Structure 1
């Protein structure tokens, strides 16, 4: 990509890049829930994200409410909704609309771009003084660090790519109906016996710890 200024232009370019990279992509959106604000949209996301925000239901809303990645259907399109930053007012949610069920390579591409989009959006909103506070930005970074650590643990226990490790975490969180960040934190706790910055973080719930123990036992076999 050509050089662009940090801010709205960068977010738009990243979303365009993701849409172009994914075969069969019909749109990419970025929204804030429960504020109900559509921040950016490409293709069909402009209409479909707004419809979910107005109707207060759909994969976008579910991803924000549960703070975990959600897949679903809207009409003939498959949707991947990823909550990208966790603040007190709710996460920024990236939505991707595909003409086919999401494949491993699709999730890998989303995983690579989503942190950049979410972080850029969070910083833009933070600088505008509208959404995020400093402590919320810190928590966002902490949550992402635990997800990356959990991916590293899975890659070490079962040789696989970062995309495969992330997909395993997502599938595990969806099947157990547990937040991705909680499963990731719990897996780090189960594997290492402690969490960095534990005094500043809310410990994952028992269901997440039980889920992480089962996952860790399965990959260590």
Structure 2
């Protein structure tokens, strides 16, 4: 059972120590690939495939072998990593020599130095799916480790979901801060216009909007220019 594997606990600790406020998605993906390589017996190289819409690409890899075999699949639109990503299932290739589902790709893999592989689907977010791809130099390298790899992939998916959530939250917070700053400077500009024109807040905003439209500048830029002139006594 995967829970009994001596390296699994260490792998989960490594994933759990990721500090999302200090790293980006690329670092998390690279960490996942390296942790998988270090944890799953018989692994030669590992990659992580991401699929968004009709576009698939390798977002992280531990060696050129994995990248080469991934890219062949993207170019031809078929292969275990693509099937794993789109179905969410585990795609085991015990022996490239007798593989019949993707014979052309298996032939390429044998020449490149891979004798077996295992790809496991990674649900990441609504608009993006992926796969953890593990390549072995010997036939049957992963026959007894599918469950271990699936357990690790499950925790990897959680790590990816967490970094996506953190980045989304950070982006939203930044957008809210920018919106508040824009609102503040617009209110300042309105106050200046109201004092100069002896008009209402609605009339002051209409003046700002008209200048914005006529000058083809954003409303915030117009407001910032007006506030700057009022504070520094400058002119456009």
Normalising by structure 1, we get a TM-score of 0.49
Give the TM-score of the pair, scaled to structure 2: 0.46
**Structure with bigger gyration radius:** 2
Q: Which has the higher contact order (CA 8 A, sep 6+)?
A: 2
